[in-house]
């Protein structure tokens, strides 16, 4: 699978050492962060593009997930095409699915078309589902 998820992190990098940005160390315990990540991805896999028989995660529509220390979640996602008929609805579907994850305090979904989605972002599972594999 092409890496559908570019980053999962607790916050933006902060601080510096010898002029280099140092990664942020989350206050969320590693085991909880792992569970939140897995549960968020599982929730995203319940959201489907109604025109394609594959979930949005496997389609590669999720570009970024950030889990903040306050357990708010920021998601950058795209659509298969800017004129997608469900463009106005899908962000709320994602917000509702991820909000249901235990431990998530708040969800913010940002739509982006940069870079544009291409079929190469799909996982093998999605390619099989749409008959491309």
Query: Does residue 1 register a pLDDT over 80?
Result: no
Q: What is the domain-level CATH number for residue 89? A: 3.30.300.130
Number of domains in the chain: 1
Q: Which of 71, 70, 53, 73 is nearest to 62 (CA)?
A: 73
The Cβ of residue 76 has, within 10 Å, a number of other Cβ atoms equal to: 18
Residue with structure tokens 């996602």?
Answer: 77
Contact 9, 24 (CB under 8 A): yes
Question: ∠ CA(41), CA(9), CA(100), 5° rounding?
Answer: 35
Q: Let me know if residue 3 belongs to a domain.
A: no
Cis peptide before 115 (omega within 30 of 0): yes
Q: Let me know if residue 19 belongs to a domain.
A: yes
Q: What is the pLDDT of residues 3-62, one digit of tens each?
A: 444 444 444 444 334 455 556 678 999 999 999 999 999 999 999 988 888 999 999 999
Q: Let me know if residue 1 belongs to a domain.
A: no
**What pLDDT, on the 0 to 100 scale, is given for residue 84?**
83
- Residue numbers of the domain that contains 104: 8-129
Q: Let me know if residue 2 belongs to a domain.
A: no
When pLDDT is cut at 50, 70 and 90, the band that residue 121 belongs to is very high
**What pLDDT, on the 0 to 100 scale, is given for residue 3?**
42
Q: Let me know if residue 92 belongs to a domain.
A: yes
Q: Let me know if residue 64 belongs to a domain.
A: yes
When pLDDT is cut at 50, 70 and 90, the band that residue 125 belongs to is very high
Assigned token pair, 17: 């050492």
Q: Let me know if residue 53 belongs to a domain.
A: yes
Tell me the C-alpha distance between 105 and 4, whole Å.
24
Strand-pair category, 106-111 with 14-17: unpaired
Tell me the C-alpha distance between 33 and 101, whole Å.
12
Read off the pTM.
Answer: 0.81
Query: Does residue 2 register a pLDDT over 50?
Result: no
Q: Which of 66, 54, 45, 65 is nearest to 5 (CA)?
A: 65
Q: Let me know if residue 40 belongs to a domain.
A: yes
Query: Does residue 132 register a pLDDT over 50?
Result: yes
Comparing 59 with 2, which gets the higher pLDDT?
59
Q: What is the pLDDT of residues 75-108, one digit of tens each?
A: 999 999 888 888 889 999 999 999 999 999 999 9
């Amino acid at each position: 699978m092409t890496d559908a998820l570019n980053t999962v992190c607790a916050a933006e990098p902060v601080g510096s050492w010898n002029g280099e940005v140092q990664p942020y160390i989350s206050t969320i315990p590693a085991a909880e962060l792992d569970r939140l990540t897995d549960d968020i991805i599982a929730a995203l896999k319940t959201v489907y593009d109604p025109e394609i028989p594959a979930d949005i995660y496997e389609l590669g529509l999720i570009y970024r997930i950030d889990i903040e220390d306050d357990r708010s979640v920021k998601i950058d996602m795209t659509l298969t095409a800017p004129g997608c008929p469900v463009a106005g609805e899908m962000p709320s579907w994602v917000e509702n699915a991820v909000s249901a994850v235990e431990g998530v305090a708040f969800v913010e979904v940002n739509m982006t078309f940069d870079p544009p989605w291409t079929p190469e972002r799909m996982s093998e599972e999605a390619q099989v589902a749409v008959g491309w594999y």
